[in-house]
Structure 1
Amino acid sequence: MSTLENLPENERSLLLVDDDKAFLSRLERAMERRGFAVRSADTVAQGLAAVAENPPSFAVVDLRLEDGNGLEVVSALHEKRPDARVVVLTGYGNIATAVTAVKLGAVDYLAKPADADDVINALLASGETKPEPPENPMSADRVRWEHIQRVYELCERNVSETARRLNMHRRTLQRILAKRAPR
């Protein structure tokens, strides 16, 4: 695994694209502390504009954004700068989108919430070695809770519609939503 210190200053550019502003802000600060020159965007359009203006060496892109699919940013960056290392983040992944992300040029695909160390390990991993698995991966209960929250938000916080789409009883869903997130 290479380290950031081995890279020249002009090769430390990083583009972060995520519509979760709180997560984006935390990740931006963490990556700057680790030596990256960070630019951030919270829409596909801003991400594409940043790539067109000055393609970065590294990128961390959320899969689903408010105005479209983050894979558009991955594809545009790979066209402009084939050597760029891109990690795709998602709160709800599946094998098909992971394969598509890798075909478009991503080097890894991480589940949210990923911490800065997981992201750096994925960005800087060489082709011969795989990054270490996360120290504290999300539990199955947490993954389930995240999925339910995502569907709930996509259904505009409508409990009945969310329950229908998840094939779950409405009262069961209400109890789950009333609890704190599992660890």
Structure 2
Amino acid sequence: MNAENAGRVLLIDDDEVFVHVLGRALVTRGFEVAMARDGSGALARCADFQPSHIVLDLKLGAESGLALIPRLTAARPAARILLLTGYASIATAVEAIKRGAHDYLAKPVDADQVVQALLGNATAQPATAGDALPDAPPPLKRLEWEHIQRVLNECDGNISEAARRLGLHRRTLQRKLAKRPVREVPQR
């Protein structure tokens, strides 16, 4: 695949090492790559680079990638937006799609997964017996994580307001948010 066929990708993430590694991998797969570390830099790069694809992190330091999606969509309506996050939840995935993202992937991801999502070629793999979800409901900790994410999104990321709505102390909520979500299917 050559650069003319792959397109231009704008990587927006505050993790410099991740952006550098992913950027190199995308260049080897035929993409032209530009990088930004925050919202204002992303909008500036979007205007001068004119990307056909945008890879955006959910957390950009103090900024929220969710809040940036509509502004990026307004700046480049034809660009395909992929949201990446290390804090995956159903609530944030739904909110990202509502705001205009085309796809959503949980970190860690490899470059091939990113390319498939950017090109809209994410083909579902047939489930095998070992991959089937159990009939049991998700773990309670996972449900708690989903609920916290949903309330946090309703509060536009305001931790104090979310803690008040959840009936938690703000520091308790911050500790819960610092933890990774529980996996739905145990690793083998």
> For the superposition of Structure 1 and Structure 2, which TM-score range results when normalised by the shorter chain?
0.5 to 0.7
The TM-score normalised by the length of structure 1 is 0.64
State how far apart, in whole Å, the 1-side matches of 2:68 and 2:17 are: 21
Structure 2 contact 6–30 (Cα < 8 Å) conserved: no
Structure 2 contact 34–49 (Cα < 8 Å) conserved: no
Structure 1 contact 51–73 (Cα < 8 Å) conserved: no
Name the residue aligned to 2:82.
87
Offset at residue 55 of structure 1 (A) = 3.1
Name the residue aligned to 1:33.
28
Give ranges in structure 2 of 5+ residues lacking alignment: 126-141, 146-170, 180-186
Question: Could you list the runs of 4 or more consecutive aligned residues of structure 1 that deviate by over 6 angstroms after TM superposition?
Answer: none
Deviations 1:81-112 (A, max 9, x none): 22211110000122222112112221110001
State how far apart, in whole Å, the 1-side matches of 2:69 and 2:12 are: 10
State how far apart, in whole Å, the 1-side matches of 2:35 and 2:123 are: 24
Deviations 1:61-87 (A, max 9, x none): 000111401123322221122221111
The letter for the 2-side match of 1:86 is I
* Counterpart selection for 1:131 from 123, 129, 135: 123
The TM-score normalised by the length of structure 2 is 0.62
* Counterpart selection for 2:65 from 48, 66, 70: 70
The letter for the 2-side match of 1:75 is P
The size of the alignment, in residue pairs, is: 137
Secondary structure class of the residue paired with 1:73: helix
The letter for the 2-side match of 1:38 is V
Name the residue aligned to 1:165.
175
Matched, 1:52 2:52: no
Secondary structure class of the residue paired with 2:102: strand
Give ranges in structure 1 of 5+ residues lacking alignment: 134-143, 148-160, 167-172, 174-181
State how far apart, in whole Å, the 2-side matches of 1:95 and 1:35 are: 32
Name the residue aligned to 1:18.
13
The alpha-carbon distance between structure 1 residues 108 and 24, as it changes in their structure 2 partners (threshold 3 A), is: same
State how far apart, in whole Å, the 2-side matches of 1:55 and 1:73 are: 16
Structure 2 contact 46–76 (Cα < 8 Å) conserved: no
State how far apart, in whole Å, the 2-side matches of 1:18 and 1:103 are: 21
* Counterpart selection for 1:116 from 111, 114, 118: 111
Secondary structure class of the residue paired with 1:99: helix
Secondary structure class of the residue paired with 1:86: strand
Structure 2 contact 5–30 (Cα < 8 Å) conserved: no
Q: CA RMSD in A?
A: 3.1
